[in-house]
Amino acid sequence: MRIGYGEDSHRLEEGRPLYLCGLPIPSPVGALAHSDGDAALHALTDALLAAYGLGDIGLLFPDTDPRWRGERSEGFLREALRLVAERGGRLLQASLVITLDRPRLSPHREALVGNLARLLGLPEERVGLGFKTSEGLAPSHVQARAVVLLDG
């Protein structure tokens, strides 16, 4: 068995799109990032890579490389899953917590969990997703933390 942990955060800026768990979320603010800034998928990608000692998202997809400008994060996640499978790993469970003051994410829970399950190839009951606010401490950012359990 292997466990991996990852986290990611981005500042939020007016007029930018907000992507979480691979889906666009209606919002007046979005992540300031080189890629699409999907903090949830970035954290999951890092967790998968960490479980096998493969570095992190910045090592594989550096923000200094123009190839990744505006890239959708599903591609990063797919590559991490491929690298894990190449080493005989199989994802068993994933758990994420997203911290965001606005917009509220609870109305989107079902769609977010469903899309994560689809992207990860897991049944929905093996995908945990929690939402928190910063209680006003950091209202201009989004942060995600992820833990994954794998065998192999």
pLDDT tens digit string along 124-140?
Answer: 999 999 999 999 999 99
* CA–CA distance, 138 with 99 (Å, rounded to integer): 9
Rounded to two decimals, what is the model's pTM? 0.95
Q: For the chain, what is the mean pLDDT?
A: 95
User: What pLDDT, on a 0 to 100 scale, did the predictor assign at position 25?
Assistant: 98
Percent of the chain with pLDDT over 70: 100
pLDDT tens digit string along 59-95?
Answer: 988 888 878 777 899 999 999 999 999 999 999 999 9
* CA–CA distance, 90 with 15 (Å, rounded to integer): 38
The architecture in CATH of the region 2-151 reads 2-Layer Sandwich (3.30)
Both structure tokens of 40: 């949830």
Q: Mean pLDDT over residues 118-122, rounded?
A: 98
Contact partners, residue 122, CB within 8 Å, separation at least 6? 91, 92, 93, 94, 116
Q: 20 has which bridge partners?
A: 23
Domain ranges of the chain: 2-151
Both structure tokens of 105: 């994410």
CB neighbour class for 44 (10 Å; exposed up to 12, middle 13-18, buried from 19): buried
User: What pLDDT, on a 0 to 100 scale, did the predictor assign at position 61?
Assistant: 86
